[in-house]
Amino acid sequence: MSDALERFARLVEQDHFPLDAACAAIGAHLDPTADALAVPDRLDEIASAVPDATVEDLTAHLFGTVGLHGDAETYDDPLNSFLHRVLERRRGLPITLSIITIEVGRRVGLDLVGVGMPGHFLVQDLGAPDRFLDPFIGGQLLDRDDCIERFHRLFGRSAAFADDYLRPTPTPDIVARVLANLRATYTRRGSRRPLAETLRLRALLPPRRPAEDRELAGALEAIGAFDEAAATYERAAAEADDADRDRLEARAHRLRARLN
C-alpha cells in the first residue's frame, strides 16, 4: 500500500475527516509525481490574501485574483479531479472548484457547504441559506430558482426537480463523487491501472459495498494483480448470496491456480 493510500485509509476511518486532506491524498496516490500533499498549505496561502470574510470578497479573490475557472474544453481530463492540479492549472470541474471554495471559505470563517445537485455541483452559504455559488461559472451567486434553471438546462424541462437536490452533501459523499468522476473518466479512456487504483481508494471509503469489491477485483484481475484480485473476490463472496458466492469463490480459485 502506498503512503498516500495509507494516509487516505487513516483519514476516512475517522467520523469527521478533513475534505482537503482526503482529496489531496487521492491526488497523491493517482498522480504521485506531484507534491499533492502541499494542497492544505496552498489553500492557507490563498486564504491569507482574501481581503475580508465575505462571500463577495472570497469569490472575487478566487475567481478574479487567483483566476480559477471551469474547464469546459477538456472537462473529461482526470487532472481536473486532482486538487493540486486544479490549483496549479487554475481550472477544474464544478466539484473540485467547489471543494477549493469551501476550504478557503472555511479558513476565513465562512460557513460554506457542498451541494451535490445532479449533474452540477454547487456551494451553499449557510450564513444565507437561500444563496448558492456556482464555482464553475466564476463563483456566480444563485438563488433557488437559478439552481432549478441550471438543473432543467441539463436534464430538460420535463425532468422533475426535488428539494433534496439542494441539501448539503456530507464530506464522505463529496469524496465518493470525486472518485466516481475519476472512475467514469478512466473507464471511458480504457485506462486500466488508474481505474484499478481509483477503485482501490473507493473500497477504503466506508461503508463497504460488495458490488464495489467485485468491480475492484475485476479491475485488479485486468492488470494482472491476480493474488490481490483473488483475495478481493473472496471478500466479496463472504457477503454474497449462495448463487453468487459460488461463482465468486470459483473465480478466486482460478486466479490462485494461475499463481502456482
100 in Cβ contact with 83 (< 8 Å): yes
Specify the pLDDT at position 2: 79
**pLDDT surpassing 80 at residue 222:** yes
Model confidence pTM above 0.75: yes
Compute the distance between CA of residue 153 and CA of residue 124 in angstroms, rounded to an integer: 20
Specify the pLDDT at position 1: 66
Residue 77 DSSP SS3? coil
Element housing 133 (H / E): strand 132-134
Radius of gyration of the chain (CA): 20
Pairing of strands 122-125, 132-134: antiparallel
- What's the first-to-final CA gap in the chain, in angstroms? 24
Specify the pLDDT at position 239: 86
Give pLDDT tens digits for 126-165: 999 999 999 999 999 999 999 999 999 999 999 999 999 9
Distances (CA, A) of 129 to 19, 109, 114: 21, 16, 12
Give pLDDT tens digits for 60-99: 999 999 999 999 999 999 999 999 999 999 999 999 999 9
**pLDDT surpassing 70 at residue 259:** yes
Compute the distance between CA of residue 212 and CA of residue 176 in angstroms, rounded to an integer: 12
**What does the block give as the cell for 213?**
469489491
Give pLDDT tens digits for 182-221: 999 999 999 999 999 999 999 999 887 888 999 999 999 9
Query: 229-258 burial, b for 16+ CB within 10 Å, e for fewer?
Result: bbbbbbbbbeebeeeeeeebbebbeebbee
Task: For residue 72, give the amino acid letter.
Answer: A
**Residues forming a β-bridge with 115:** 122, 168
Whether omega for the bond prior to residue 207 falls within 30 degrees of 0, making it cis, is yes
Question: Given pLDDT bands bounded at 50, 70 and 90, which one contains residue 246?
Answer: confident
Element housing 113 (H / E): strand 112-115
Residue 161 DSSP SS3? coil
CA angle 55, 91, 131 (to 5 degrees): 25
Compute the distance between CA of residue 246 and CA of residue 116 in angstroms, rounded to an integer: 38
Compute the distance between CA of residue 57 and CA of residue 62 in angstroms, rounded to an integer: 9
Give pLDDT tens digits for 98-134: 999 999 999 999 999 999 999 999 999 999 999 999 9
204 in Cβ contact with 12 (< 8 Å): yes
**pLDDT surpassing 80 at residue 242:** no
Residue ranges per domain, the chain?
3-166, 208-258
Give pLDDT tens digits for 9-21: 999 999 999 999 9
